[in-house]
Amino acid sequence: MPTFTALTTLPGKAPAEALGEALEALDPAPTGVGVFELEDGSGLWEVGGYFEAPPDDVALALLAAAHGAKPFAVSELPETDWVAKVQRELHPVRAGRFFVYGAHDADKVPAGAVPLLIEAAMAFGTGHHGTTQGCLEALDALIQEGATPNSIADIGCGTAVLALAAAKTWPVQVLASDIDALAVDVARANVEANGLATQVSCLEAAGFDHPDLRQKSPFDLIFANILKGPLITLAPEIAEHTVSGGHVILSGLLTTQAEEVISAYRTQGFALHRRAELGDWTTLTLGR
């Protein structure tokens, strides 16, 4: 069955959410509506609807005009076996000593690499994005420098690929948390697939708001591969939960946003240890 999408952009969270709610009331109704902030620093939000039948062009035009949005762009998506497509297009990634792969590429793991199995059907955060790859390379750099953390947290873990990499490096307990329940389920599945269920615990939490995180705090190493806004908001909490002499690896930010994040963490007692750019994205390693 073909799927139709209708996408537009407009400035501001509140107007975007209002348009998303209005979009849900269309006839034919969308099967799903998404409202997301663009990660390019423009302040624009994307509003999209997914339909099983062609949406009403006139109704979309009226909605866009009423909410100050650009005209909707409507597209028909062909029927696609998305798992097979991901398996074809998401090739294994080498990031320092780490090798991120799907089960269909198990025969490609090179000798001497640290393998991280992330199923292709759970593609978010597989290591193919510049931020995840940058974090793995930053972790590899810390390992080369002789870091030996005893406590590690992965905040906003997604598929838990960073927590898995840390757990395969050091024989310590790792806490991986995410605000999204589905992400936590995905993380647990990947932890099981890598045989690390006794070493990596997956938690649903906003920031450090979980008793297990508070009990294990402070941490020698914290990953936070999220977005610029949450990274800045969490700076005081991350500082509170990082030991003196510990490190944080931060990403999810565009290169143009890096200085603002560095400044926020300097005010919390961190110093820049390493900065690396990969495409449009920057990964920061800071020491406290």
Please state, in angstroms and rounded to a whole number, the distance separating the CA atoms of residues 139 and 148: 11
Which one of 77, 96, 117 terminates a domain?
77
Q: Is residue 204 part of a domain?
A: yes
The tally of domains found in the chain comes to 2
Q: Is residue 46 part of a domain?
A: yes
Cα 180 to Cα 230: distance, rounded to the nearest angstrom: 14
Report the candidate in 200, 214, 197, 143 with the shortest Cα–Cα distance to residue 167. Answer: 200
Same domain, 54 and 158: no
Which residue, 180, 177, 205, is CA-closest to 191?
177
CATH number assigned to the domain comprising residue 207: 3.40.50.150
**Helix/strand/coil for 206:** coil
**Residue 29, SS3?**
coil
Write the pLDDT tens digit of every residue in 40-92: 678 899 999 988 888 999 999 999 999 999 999 998 876 655 455 445 545 68
Asked if residue 106 is part of any domain, the answer here is no
pLDDT tens sequence across 138-160: 999 999 999 999 999 999 998 89
The pLDDT value given to residue 39: 66
Q: Which domain holds residue 36?
A: 3-77
Domain co-membership, 62 together with 185: no
Query: What order of strands is seen across the sheet that includes strand 219-225?
Result: 200-204, 174-178, 152-155, 219-225, 242-254, 281-287, 271-278
Same domain, yes or no: 135 and 257: yes
